[in-house]
Amino acid sequence: MQLTADPFSVGGAPPSTAPDAGGLDLSGLDRPGPRIVSLIPAHNEQDGIVKTVRSQFAQTIRPALVIVMADNCTDDTVRLAREAGAQVLETVGNKAKKAGALNQGLALVMPLLDDGDYILAQDADGELSNDFVKNALWAYDVKPNLGGVSGCIIARTPNNFIERAQAIEYARGTRLMGRQGGKVHVLSGAASLFPVHVFRAIADARGKTLPGAPGSVYMEDSLTEDYELTLAIRHLGFDCTSTKRCPVITDVMPTIRDLEVQRLRWYRGAMESLWLYGWNKITRRTWGGVAFTFFSSLLFPAALLALVLSWLLWDITPNPFYWFLLPIFMAENIVTAYRTKDRASIRTAIFFVPLWLYDNAMFIVYWRSLLGAVRREARVWIT
Residue 61: φ, ψ to 5°: -120, 100
- C-beta of residue 50 within 8 angstroms of C-beta of residue 40: no
The class of domain 27-254 in CATH terms is: alpha beta
pLDDT in tens, 20-54: 666 788 888 998 889 999 999 999 999 999 999 99
**Closest listed residue to residue 220, CA positions, set 325, 117, 95, 317:** 95
Distance CA 216, CA 278 (A): 21
**Closest listed residue to residue 307, CA positions, set 294, 320, 291, 325:** 320
Distance CA 50, CA 53 (A): 5
Residue 2 clears pLDDT 50, i.e. is over it: no
DSSP for residue 183:
B
SS3 195: strand
Distance CA 12, CA 377 (A): 19
DSSP for residue 298:
T
Beta strands, E only, 29-157: 36-42, 65-70, 87-90, 118-122, 126-128, 146-155
Residue 9 clears pLDDT 50, i.e. is over it: no
Distance CA 297, CA 204 (A): 40
**Predicted pLDDT at 148:** 98
10 Å Cβ neighbour count for 191? 32
pLDDT in tens, 221-268: 999 999 999 999 999 999 999 999 999 999 999 999 999 999 999 999
Better pLDDT: 2 or 127: 127
10 Å Cβ neighbour count for 369? 22
